[in-house]
């Protein structure tokens, strides 16, 4: 929906003191001794008479010539009225373009900065996802290798090879936090702060600790909506907690 623009009811008043038809008819009368309506009537009458004889053909040719002159004169009169309007419109458009030049340039630059930031955030998210998936695969491979070693050790010692499964080492992974003006968070994000007495857990995380029993430590990307009109419909549902 286009934004509402407040305008004055009468910005420009165009006054034509002499009706254009009067000017056209006076011009035609000087050249052809007829007005526009009379020339049109003559043309239609000639069409009804047809041009099957030499006489009607000669008359029709003369009427065609009069019609061509009438069309040319009428357009010339029209230009006398419209040319100043067109020139005024052109000058007004040029002035408006000059007036908006600075804003258009700066608005475009700022929009490019916003889009560049969005692309950088997207790039970092993708990089973090790839790093997490690679680390997860490595942790799983490490767990399988350790379990295989334990099985071989058991067999070497005469055991059955039945060993306790090796748990995969937990990997810190990124979670996107969608935010509207940095105030809204998804309810699905675990909140361990009520159990964080005295802020000790948060302080430990700030100090670089990444493994605390009973605590999931996440890398969090925070987003702010920069243009609500561009947000897809599926993300517009209220998710406030």
pLDDT the model gives residue 83: 93
Has residue 179 got a pLDDT over 70?
Answer: no
Q: How confident is the model at residue 215 (pLDDT cuts 50, 70, 90)?
A: confident
The domain locations on the chain are 20-111, 172-241
Gap between the Cα atoms of 120 and 88, Å rounded: 47
Q: How confident is the model at residue 182 (pLDDT cuts 50, 70, 90)?
A: very low
Name the more confident of 193 and 48: 48
Closest to 31 measured CA to CA, from 87, 82, 69, 80: 69
Gap between the Cα atoms of 147 and 162, Å rounded: 10
pLDDT the model gives residue 193: 46
Q: How confident is the model at residue 41 (pLDDT cuts 50, 70, 90)?
A: very high
Q: What is the DSSP letter of 175?
A: E
Least confident residue range of 48-52, 124-128, 175-179: 175-179
- The answer to whether 236 and 180 are in contact (CB under 8 A) is no
Gap between the Cα atoms of 27 and 35, Å rounded: 8
Give how far Cα 10 sits from Cα of 13, 14, 18, 83, 84, Å. 7, 10, 22, 22, 20
pLDDT in tens, 3-16: 555 555 556 666 65
Q: Which residues pair with 176 in a beta bridge?
A: 221
The phi, psi pair for 130, rounded to 5°, reads -65, -40
Gap between the Cα atoms of 110 and 235, Å rounded: 24
Closest to 23 measured CA to CA, from 81, 71, 86, 63: 81
Percent of the chain at pLDDT > 70 equals: 73
The sign of the CA dihedral 111, 112, 113, 119 is positive
pLDDT in tens, 66-106: 999 999 999 999 998 889 989 999 999 999 999 999 999 99
For residue 118, count other CB atoms closer than 10 A to its CB. Answer: 14
Has residue 21 got a pLDDT over 70?
Answer: yes
- The answer to whether 202 and 208 are in contact (CB under 8 A) is no
- The answer to whether 61 and 54 are in contact (CB under 8 A) is no
Name the more confident of 116 and 174: 116
Gap between the Cα atoms of 184 and 225, Å rounded: 11
Q: How confident is the model at residue 181 (pLDDT cuts 50, 70, 90)?
A: very low
pLDDT the model gives residue 240: 45
The CB-side HSE value for 11 (13 A sphere, CA atoms) comes to 4
First to last CA, the chain: 31
The phi, psi pair for 50, rounded to 5°, reads 75, 180
Has residue 213 got a pLDDT over 90?
Answer: no
Percent of the chain at pLDDT > 90 equals: 35
């Amino acid at each position: 929906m286009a934004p509402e623009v407040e305008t004055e009811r009468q910005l420009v008043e165009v006054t034509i003191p002499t009706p254009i038809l009067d000017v056209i008819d006076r011009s035609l009368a000087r050249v052809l001794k007829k007005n526009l309506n009379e020339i049109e009537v003559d043309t239609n009458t000639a069409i009804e008479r047809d041009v099957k004889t030499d006489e009607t053909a000669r008359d029709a040719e003369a009427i065609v010539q009069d019609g061509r002159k009438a069309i040319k004169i009428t357009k010339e009169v029209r230009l006398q009225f419209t040319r100043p309007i067109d020139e005024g419109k052109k000058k007004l458009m040029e002035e408006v373009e000059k007036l908006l030049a600075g804003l258009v340039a700066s608005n475009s630059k700022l929009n490019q900065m916003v889009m560049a930031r969005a692309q950088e955030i997207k790039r970092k998210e993708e990089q973090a996802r790839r790093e997490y998936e690679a680390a997860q695969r490595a942790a799983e491979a490490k767990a399988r290798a350790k379990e295989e070693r334990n099985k071989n050790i058991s067999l070497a010692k005469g055991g059955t090879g039945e060993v306790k499964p090796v748990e995969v080492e937990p990997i810190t992974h990124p979670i996107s936090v969608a935010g509207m003006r940095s105030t809204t968070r998804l309810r699905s994000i675990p909140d361990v702060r009520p159990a964080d007495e005295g802020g000790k857990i948060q302080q430990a995380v700030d100090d670089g600790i990444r493994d605390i029993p009973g605590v999931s430590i996440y890398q969090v990307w925070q987003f702010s909506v920069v243009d609500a009109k561009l947000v897809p419909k599926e993300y517009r549902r209220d998710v406030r907690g």
